[in-house]
Amino acid sequence: MFKYCPACASEKISFEEGKVFRCPGCGFVYYHNIACATGCLISVPSPDGEKLLFTVRGNEPGKGLLDMPGGFVDAGEGVLEGLCRELKEELGWMPPVRPGAILADVFKLYASFPNIYSYKGIDYNTCDLFFSVSAPGLKPEDLQLEKDEITEVRFLKPEEINLDLFAFESIKRALKVYLAKGTA
């Protein structure tokens, strides 16, 4: 990521253990830590079993491939706070939180896997947390999509899911865990 030391411009800067830049000249140290990201599986109960909501990515990486709502947790946010912000941004939707309940009562953590998110020549190592939420009665017309990021949503039955059509390895692994258990 750094070809020269950002502090003294030395070419001798090294990248060690997949995470730390060190400059032997001036002592500059920078830890390129992992980023935290979320994915949310929205499950809509229906008479013939559940349907799961997926988004179609409008941008690289993975343009045109399937994804889950969610994204990077921003500085200053908690994980579920970041997830709720992403749901509102991407779908214009949030699951109801009854009075007195907390977000952890609504979202269930079912898997976590690492991912590499390659964006404009930089690889971001992420720790992805995957949550599920039940959304009885949710319909496509209840959603207001963030059209710059998402071209459409698809409601798929578990048996209709083709993992080859998903953008990221962590999502494929999480879906395998979820589908092996049946329902959330």
Contacting positions for Zn ion (CB under 5 A): 5, 7-8, 10, 23, 25-26, 28
CA angle 26, 75, 128 (to 5 degrees): 100
Closest separation in Å from C-beta 15 to Zn ion: 13
Alpha helices in 99-168 (DSSP H): 103-106
Closest separation in Å from C-beta 6 to Zn ion: 8
Which residue number, 7 or 106, has a Cβ lying nearer to Zn ion?
7
Closest separation in Å from C-beta 14 to Zn ion: 11
Contact 136, 183 (CB under 8 A): no
Q: Which two tokens stand for residue 175?
A: 């879906």
Which residue number, 15 or 119, has a Cβ lying nearer to Zn ion?
15
Hunting for tokens 């889950």 — which residue is that? 68
Which residue number, 14 or 33, has a Cβ lying nearer to Zn ion?
14
- Give 73-95 as a DSSP string: PPTT--HHHHHHHHHHHHHS---
**CA dist., res. 85 & res. 79, Å (int):** 10
CA nearest 109: which of 136, 80, 67, 82?
80
Residue 141's CB: how many other CB atoms inside 10 A? 6
Hunting for tokens 């749901």 — which residue is that? 87
Which residue number, 6 or 45, has a Cβ lying nearer to Zn ion?
6
Closest separation in Å from C-beta 124 to Zn ion: 24
Which residue number, 7 or 79, has a Cβ lying nearer to Zn ion?
7
Closest separation in Å from C-beta 11 to Zn ion: 10
Which residue number, 23 or 40, has a Cβ lying nearer to Zn ion?
23
Closest separation in Å from C-beta 2 to Zn ion: 10
CA nearest 108: which of 168, 51, 43, 45?
43
